[in-house]
Amino acid sequence: MKTLENKTQGGIWRYAAFYPLFVPKKKQISLGEGNTPLLEVPLSKICQSSLWIKREDFNPQGSHKDRALAFQVSYYGSQGYKRLAISSSGNGAISLSAYAQEAGIEALVFVHPQTPPYKLDRILSFQPHIIITEKAINFGRYVERRYGIPNLRPSTNEIAPIGYYSLALEIYESQVPMDSIFLFTTSGATLIGLYEAFWKLKRDGKIKKLPAFHAVQAGGITSIASAFEKNLEVEEEKEDVKVPGFLGGPKTPRKEAVLEALKTTGGRGWYLKSSEIEEGSKSLEDMGLHTSLEGVSAFQCAIKALQIGIVERPLVIFTGKKEEEKQEGSIKDLP
């Protein structure tokens, strides 16, 4: 197999020639994102099979969002923008703040008051302009419309999927014999980026068949799963119970594109209940693996698909770190 990697460049820029938009080398910002571990996990205690886990929670800022923001910040910086904005549930704001600081660009981040304090602390460590508001999404739209500051929110920003091409290429070059990819989906930007990259690999004759994509949802995030389950029973969210996709948008403008990717590849949308997620969390803990609830959900969904025979060799993406224990005081102590 011929590698697509340019070893003279770091981070996601190892694959710069594969991207549909050009960014001059001197504008390519990297903090060492990508090249994350890919593990094979035997499942003898659960079912007679194994699966692969891509540890995106090992990225520098703790989530797959580093890939998207590395590209977005670099591209907009190359176009002369001095300020960038995002409305985020936490991880996107952390990544934007980190990459913007590295690029010498002002970051304006809008986050909800319920954003976990440890994430706020992480955001603040990069010294962005931060606004805590219950209308974070609306503020992001406003500054883009009123002041022309690009809003990098993944559900609406056109170039958000491109950074995730690097994730697809790392999986491709690993040559693991997987037949499907499971990931938690809210905005759909990650799934679309993966799909577009694998589609391009197939078009160029690098692979014969696309992996089946499976979009996993839970809690109040149902826009994709509901298209596959007509009478979907949505669990009522409880104040004292953490759920995957917390603070994520319940709907995404990328819905139709995501559905097309799922149906084209023979995948589907899934909805997991809290009891299933708890089961997945226990299984992973027994293996000594710790990740976010989104990663747990994707893992448990892959197990479910294996047990009913829908897939044979799934690959699961752990998109972010395990939530830290609740902290008090960070919001009220903000300057």
Find the CATH number of the domain harbouring 83. 3.40.50.1100
CA distances in angstroms from 118 to 91, 112, 124, 281, 294, listed in the order given: 11, 13, 10, 21, 18
334 domain residue, yes or no: no
Q: pLDDT value at position 45?
A: 67
CA distance 293 to 319: 9
In a domain, 252, yes or no: yes
Looking at the DSSP bridge assignments, the partners of residue 129 are 108
Residues 198, 276 within the same domain:
yes
Residues 75 and 220 in one domain: no
Is 38 part of a structural domain of the chain?
A: yes
- Verify that 308 and 215 share a domain, yes or no: yes
246 belongs to a structural domain: yes
State how far the Cα of 84 lies from the Cα of 148, in Å rounded to an integer.
Answer: 9
Question: Is 230 among the domain residues?
Answer: yes
- Distance (Å, whole) CA 326 – CA 246: 14
Note whether 88 and 237 are same-domain residues. Answer: no
Report residue 129 CA to chain centroid gap: 23
Q: Are residues 69 and 59 part of one domain?
A: no
Please tell me the distance from the alpha carbon of residue 148 to that of residue 233, in angstroms, as a whole number: 41
- Token pair 């170039």 is found at 159
Tally of structural domains, the chain:
2
- pTM for the structure as a whole: 0.93
The answer to whether residue 43 sits within a structural domain is yes
Cα–Cα distance for residue pair 153/170, rounded to 1 Å: 24
Residues 56 and 73 in one domain: no
Residues 217 and 176 in one domain: yes
Query: Domain check: are 277 and 247 in the same one?
Result: yes
Same domain, 174 and 49: yes
Structure tokens at 279: 């089961």
d(CA 34, CA 94): 16
Look up tokens 């910002």; give the residue. Answer: 29
Tokens of 11: 């981070």
């980026």: which residue's tokens? 193
Asked whether residue 4 is domain-assigned, the answer is no
Neighbours of 242 (CB within 10 A): 15
Closest CA to 62 of 35, 89, 91: 91
Same domain, 194 and 313: yes
DSSP H stretches of helix in the chain = 65-78, 91-103, 117-124, 136-147, 165-174, 189-203, 255-265, 274-286, 293-307
Q: What is the pLDDT along the chain (335 residues), one digit of tens a residue?
A: 456 667 667 899 999 999 999 999 999 999 999 999 999 998 876 666 789 999 999 999 999 999 999 999 999 999 999 999 999 988 999 999 999 999 999 999 999 998 989 999 999 999 999 999 999 999 999 999 999 999 999 999 999 999 999 999 999 999 999 999 999 999 999 999 999 999 999 999 999 999 999 999 999 899 999 999 887 888 776 655 566 766 566 789 999 999 999 999 999 999 999 999 999 999 999 999 999 999 999 999 999 999 999 999 999 999 999 987 544 444 444 54
Domain that holds residue 101: 65-147
Q: Are 169 and 285 part of one and the same domain? A: yes
Would you state the pLDDT for residue 282?
95
- Contacts with 273 (C-beta within 8 Å, 6 or more apart), sequence order: 218, 235
Domain-embedded: residue 3 = no
Same domain, 54 and 183: yes
